[in-house]
A and B are shown apart, each in its own frame.
Chain A
Amino acid sequence: MSDMDRVVTVPIGPQHPALKEPESFMVDLRGEKIDAVRMRFGYNHRGIEKGCEQRSYTQDLYLVERVCGICSFAHSTAFIQAVEEIAGIELPKRATYIRTIIAELERIHSHLLWLGVAGHEIGFDTLLMYTWRDREQVMILLARLTGNRVNYGMNTVGGVRRDIAPEMIPEILKVVDSLEERTKYYIDMGTREQTLIQRLSGVGKLSREDALRLGTVGPTARASGVDRDTRRDDPYAAYSEVSFKVIIDDHCDVYGRTLVRLGELMETYSILRQLLKQIPEGPIAVKAPRRIPEGEAVSRYEAPRGEDVHYVRGNGSEKPERVKVRAPTLANTQSVSKMLEDGYLADLPIVIAAIDPCFSCTDRMVRLNEGSGGEGRTMGWEEVTRYGVQWHKARGLDLSKIKIPGGGGA
């Protein structure tokens, strides 16, 4: 049997190169190409849903916020919206505006974070350094507005806990203006830098039919031509008060996913300007009962990675009867196996990174089994990334050579 015919199963798996552990992705390789992928998740299971039943709604805000360290506000808001719906609480307008402002600032930091991580996975570390330096502007701003860089503690039942002082509005606009300029450089690079375009095009293909069939959400779905965005389709917070485009692309690959996120950043800057111009005066919260009546509600929120769904059931007490969280990454897991099929092992890191999974999902390891009777070889995730970078360099794509336009300056 030739090398090309031999199927080699590559378990991509645990969290550490030093250890043998259950694998999360079992990849069957045929030569350098991926035949099939089987997946396993759950290593991160903490027991949050049960924990929510044992804590009050207010305590649960702090727990649910920490489901994920990137879209913490998404989870906090999705949760509290369901609670407020059960209790029949109507929020003051100003509170909905503040929530939307924080939500969009979170989208900025998340998309810039993603851009940097994607850059790292393809050997373009300059992009990581620049985007994360830019991202610091938002992190500092969020810390000034909320008291923390992540996990803002902004929500309460019935509104938000902190107001946005009038003198902060020009500060927010300054950051928006500055990041809009930076994003334009990244878009310019993304649309003109041939090495980058070639590296990302045709990689991680997912047709529109498959995206629909497999329940894909977020920028990943929109890059396959699926015209869905919860902010427009089922508006919440203050989204029905602003106008924005839903960014759709039909490349159906990692390049498309990059363009969608860059386009979304530009729309976010526009949304923020509208919100800051229109934000009404008024209270930032209404008094809410500690006991939430019997009832149930489902809240949907467009997190940076896609639709986040929270179901809450009240039983008349201070603690919820049931809290169910469906994070966007979970919806995209089956799409990932499809995208990896018939692709190159060298592209595995960027394809997985392109659905923007929770960071720890990408801290994986590759173990090469040489089939029965062979010896195992251990590779870390960084090694697979390096393998991918070398593989593409050998084919003329060296991303470390790319200069970022207008890259100088603070």
Chain B
Amino acid sequence: MMDIQALATELSTRFALPEGAVKVQRATRLWVEVDRAMFSEVFDYTVKSLGFTILCTITGLDLGADLGFIYHLARDGGVMINLKTRCPKAESIRTVTSYFPCADIYERELVDLFGARVEGLPTGARYPLPEDWPEGEHPLLKDWKPKTTEAPAPTSEAHAPTSEAAKGAVSE
């Protein structure tokens, strides 16, 4: 099995990735930035030919005009390749559920929390927001603010404690 330096070189040369796109962070962490146009090819190669058959999760990022996506891939032996790509907010990315059935829930998270569009995601329940969450509200976008940020004062004068025993904090 190739060590991490060899993996870095392999990906760099095979896909003619620009200077700085491939970073070895430590013995088990590789970071690879891939242009959207090349992403499926690089992804396919990493999974099928380099043996990165574990998808830990997919991280979404709000990069302003674009959304960023990091696919955290791993394989037996501990090495992780983090494949990063980005895509303008109004555009869509392809699902990777054909490679990883478990990607389903990670992609739904991107849809709910960032408003990402994922082409080919099978129909199913949303995750993690509740059913009645308002349309178009994506909490992890940087400019999203909740409607109320302050916790209101307690409403509890309706049922004030009636004895000294029930009043006050419990000692521990």
Interface of A with B (CB < 8 Å)? 22, 38-43, 45, 47, 49-50, 85, 212-215, 227-228, 230, 233-235, 296-298, 300, 307, 309, 311, 313, 322, 324, 326, 330-331, 333-334
Contacts and interface: CB of A to CB of B under 8 A. Distances in A.
Interface string B85-128: 00000000000000011101110000001000000000011111
B130 interface: yes
B128 A214 contact: no
Nearest to A226: B76
Nearest to B100: A215
Contacts of A313: 61
B104 A45 contact: no
B101 A214 contact: yes
Interface in B1-44: 25-26, 28-29, 31
A114 B126 CA distance: 29
A311 B70 contact: yes
Contacts of A213: 101
A235 B56 CA distance: 16
B80 A233 contact: no
Contacts of A234: 28, 74, 78, 80
B128 A45 contact: yes
B54 interface: yes
Contacts, number: 83
Contacts of B129: 42, 45
A311 B80 contact: no
A22 B131 contact: yes
A217 to B, nearest CB: 9
Most chain-B CB neighbours within 10 Å: which of A40, A215, A227, A234? Answer: A215
A42 B126 contact: yes
A100 B79 CA distance: 21
B77 interface: yes
Contacts of B28: 234
Nearest to A233: B78
A235 B100 CA distance: 25
A409 B70 CA distance: 53
Contact of B56 (A40, A43, A300): A300
Interface string B43-86: 00000000001111101110000000010101011101010000
A39 B125 CA distance: 8
Contacts of A311: 57, 59, 70, 72
B161 interface: no
Nearest to B56: A309
A80 B31 CA distance: 20
Sorted nearest first, the 7 A-B pairs with minimum C-beta distance are A42-B128, A234-B78, A215-B102, A326-B57, A40-B125, A233-B78, A45-B128
Contacts of B140: 49-50
Contacts of A322: 59, 61
Contacts of B76: 227-228, 233
20 contacts: A22-B130, A22-B131, A39-B125, A41-B127, A42-B129, A43-B130, A47-B146, A49-B140, A50-B140, A85-B25, A213-B101, A233-B76, A234-B28, A234-B74, A234-B78, A309-B56, A311-B57, A313-B61, A326-B56, A330-B105
A230 B61 CA distance: 26
Contact of A309 (B61, B72, B102): B72
Given A45-B128, A214-B102, A235-B78, 15 more contacts: A39-B125, A40-B127, A41-B128, A42-B126, A42-B128, A42-B129, A50-B140, A212-B53, A233-B76, A296-B31, A298-B72, A324-B59, A324-B60, A326-B56, A334-B105
